[in-house]
Amino acid sequence: MSFPEAVPRRLTATGISFVVALLLSMSVAAYSLHSVREFQNAEIWINNTQSAMQTLEEALSTVKDLVGAARGYALTGQPEYLERYRNARDALPRLMAAIRTHLDDSPEQIQRQDALSVLLARRIDMAQQQIQRQTHDQAAIISFGQDVTNQIRIKFAELKSAEKSLLEQRARDSERRALRTRYAIIGGNLLSCMIMIWVFLRLKREMRKRQVAQLQAQKSARESEDHVSALKRDEFKIENLNAALRTRAAQLELANKELEGFSYSVSHDLRAPLRVIGGYAMMLEEDYAEKLDEDGRRYLDVIRANTRKMDVLIVDLLKLAKSTLAPMPLAVVDMRQIVQKAIGDIEVEHTALITIGQLYDASANAALLLQVWQNLLANAVKFSSKNPQPAVSISAQQHEQDIIYCIEDNGVGLDVTQAPKLFDVFQRFHSQDEFPGTGIGLALVKRIVVRHGGRAWAESRPGAGARFYFSLPAAPQPTVPADDRTSP
């Protein structure tokens, strides 16, 4: 099959792949929107359960006030006890009604509240009799009332225990939904990026083949005038193919822009409920710390830690996406200035001694190159932090076509067999507790360096530190005009 006949079939396969990537992105977006709505509903139910537990506490406290006020008035006859009794008696129906609104989703809880309401009515009646009789037969009323009060406490405890279990269950469900959403977004975006890259490489290969076909056609035209008509027909077909390729390229550029916009939209939609969860957890810790037991405080710590962890993961994923999609204008970069800025931007506190050797300027994108240095320096500082005297050194070697930069640390090091996997996404070789991280930083380094036409690799031994290398094209040397040259 000739090249002109095979190209339409290849373009058809490319178009199908493009449509698949677009549909996959739309599916991930729809699933993300659905997950955001589920997060919002879960937050509403969690707030409802927390409000129910708070109202139960307030109602139990009101019952205690009612019993104490009735007893105090019966013993002393002082009016202030009677006023306290009436306030507690009038507040109980309102609190029970509020509890009812929070328990509408649980028939078992409603049954417990109905039994509690019966006991409360009986206890209020006893308190009223105690107030009216005052000194007559007080011992019997107090004894019987204490039994009813104990039953009321038991019912309150049952309601609170059920609400606490419901709160824990809803928190677990919310965490599972967040995990599923994260995997769906990561997997969908990675698969979309892979398809887009495949489409791009396929278009590039077709463009190269088209150029070769054009050259062959021109050569044939010069060699034989008899083939002019056939060559013109071939040129017409090639022009049509060029138009089709330009259309496909424009569609691919539009899809890249839509994918970048989608990444930012997903970040906003996912980070907003994360901020809400973190904010409510902080308010719960500040306002109700004294009412929480040890398990409650531990649950709050788990919620806040996982919220922060997911927020960092989303930010790193966005950086990874931008490293592939963002435009990359090149210029001669002052490497020492970039390194010094990266050192100043390291977020973690450290005591490492960082030394900068001879550095050479390179042709690169300054913004993307800054991310490379930030990630490599933060990595070196983190893994050398266990050393009593942590140290990081930066150096460079200039070659004819490129420059090799090296970042060396005296950290824990790693097995040399693990080095090829270091730059893969989500690859980690230490526990989160020992060295925290998302497993994306080195993958981002490799993508940026490869886009510049370089490569990244590492050398290390366990306990002997590590050396990370990356290469960049050397900055072009300025040419000296002939008139400015000095004779020897």
The residue written with tokens 């028939």 in the block is 107
For position 29, what pLDDT does the model report? 78
The neighbour count for residue 164, using CB atoms within 10 Å, is: 16
Q: Is 481 inside a domain boundary?
A: no
State whether 20 and 154 are in the same domain: yes
Domain endpoint, select from 193, 210, 227 = 210
For position 336, what pLDDT does the model report? 92
Domain endpoint, select from 146, 180, 210 = 210
Q: Is 486 inside a domain boundary?
A: no
Q: Is 215 inside a domain boundary?
A: no
| CA 191, chain centre distance (Å) | 18
pLDDT, one tens digit per residue, over 169-178 is 878 887 887 8
For position 47, what pLDDT does the model report? 76
Domain count within the chain: 2
Residue 57 CA to residue 338 CA, distance in Å, equals 58
Cα distances (angstroms) measured from residue 261 to each of 54, 123, 322, 347, 438: 42, 63, 10, 27, 23
State whether 205 and 343 are in the same domain: no
Largest separation between any pair of C-alpha atoms in the chain: 131
Q: Is 433 inside a domain boundary?
A: yes
For position 431, what pLDDT does the model report? 46
The residue written with tokens 């691919």 in the block is 252
Q: Give me the torsion for CA of 44, 48, 50, 51, rounded to 10°.
A: 130
Encoding tokens for residue 173? 């469900």
The neighbour count for residue 290, using CB atoms within 10 Å, is: 5
Q: Is 483 inside a domain boundary?
A: no
| Residues with Cβ within 8 Å of residue 197, at least 6 apart in sequence | 324
Q: Which helix (H) or strand (E) holds 333?
A: strand 331-333
Domain endpoint, select from 186, 210, 234 = 210
Please answer whether residues 96 and 117 qualify as being in contact, where contact means their C-beta atoms are separated by less than 8 angstroms: yes
Please answer whether residues 468 and 456 qualify as being in contact, where contact means their C-beta atoms are separated by less than 8 angstroms: yes
State whether 334 and 206 are in the same domain: no
State whether 61 and 191 are in the same domain: yes
* Terminal-residue alpha carbon distance, the chain: 63
Q: What is the DSSP letter of 474?
A: B
State whether 337 and 202 are in the same domain: no
| C-alpha closest to that of 55 among 85, 67, 63 | 63
Query: What's the alpha-carbon Rg for the chain, to the nearest Å?
Result: 36
CATH number at residue 60: 1.20.1420
Task: Pick out the chain residues at pLDDT < 50.
Answer: 135, 431, 433, 479-488
Give the structural domain span for 378: 328-473
Encoding tokens for residue 463? 């306990």
CATH number at residue 464: 3.30.565.10
Please answer whether residues 342 and 377 qualify as being in contact, where contact means their C-beta atoms are separated by less than 8 angstroms: yes
Q: Is 444 inside a domain boundary?
A: yes
For position 328, what pLDDT does the model report? 65
- Bridge-based pairing of strands 391-398 and 353-356 is parallel
State whether 189 and 45 are in the same domain: yes
Q: Is 122 inside a domain boundary?
A: yes
pTM for the structure as a whole? 0.40
State whether 206 and 70 are in the same domain: yes
State whether 166 and 17 are in the same domain: yes
Residue 213 CA to residue 416 CA, distance in Å, equals 47
For position 416, what pLDDT does the model report? 62
Residue 105 CA to residue 270 CA, distance in Å, equals 27
Residue 171 CA to residue 177 CA, distance in Å, equals 10
| Residues with Cβ within 8 Å of residue 130, at least 6 apart in sequence | 70, 71, 74, 138, 141, 142, 145
Residue 396 CA to residue 354 CA, distance in Å, equals 15
Please answer whether residues 449 and 470 qualify as being in contact, where contact means their C-beta atoms are separated by less than 8 angstroms: yes
Give SS3 for 213. helix
Q: Is 252 inside a domain boundary?
A: no
State whether 203 and 341 are in the same domain: no
State whether 197 and 339 are in the same domain: no
Q: What is the DSSP letter of 466?
A: E
